[in-house]
């Protein structure tokens, strides 16, 4: 049990500045994606596609300035 208590989560490993940077980046990404017609559910579904990395998902969503077709 002691080993489990000693493990830190990724957020615990970051200092306050790093966490603030990551949070700001995610907010910016979500805002830009929503401008293009993507909902959070769309982004989550895209991230769950086999072989899709976060970088590829961001590139796919932000690569066009046009809105997502309904």
pLDDT digits (tens, 9 = 90+) for 1-60: 555 555 656 656 667 778 888 888 888 888 888 888 999 898 888 889 999 988 888 888
For position 50, what pLDDT does the model report? 93
pLDDT of the residue at 49: 92
Comparing 63 with 16, which gets the higher pLDDT? 63
Domain ranges of the chain: 38-65
pLDDT for position 59: 86
- Report how far residue 68's alpha carbon sits from residue 61's, in angstroms, rounded to the nearest whole number: 9
Those residues with Cβ within 8 angstroms of residue 22's Cβ, 6 or more apart along the chain or in another chain: 14
Q: Give the Cα separation of 43 and 23 in Å (integer).
A: 16
Q: How far is CA 1 from CA 4, 5, 7, 10, in A?
A: 5, 7, 11, 20
CB distance 43 to 33 below 8 Å: yes
- Predicted TM-score (pTM) of the model is 0.57
């Amino acid at each position: 049990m002691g080993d489990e208590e000693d493990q830190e989560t990724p957020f615990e490993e970051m200092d306050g500045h790093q966490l603030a940077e990551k949070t700001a980046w995610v907010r910016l990404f979500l805002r830009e994606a929503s401008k293009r017609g993507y909902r959070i559910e769309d982004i989550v579904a895209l991230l769950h596609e086999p072989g899709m990395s976060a970088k590829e998902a961001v590139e796919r969503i932000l690569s066009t300035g046009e809105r997502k077709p309904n």
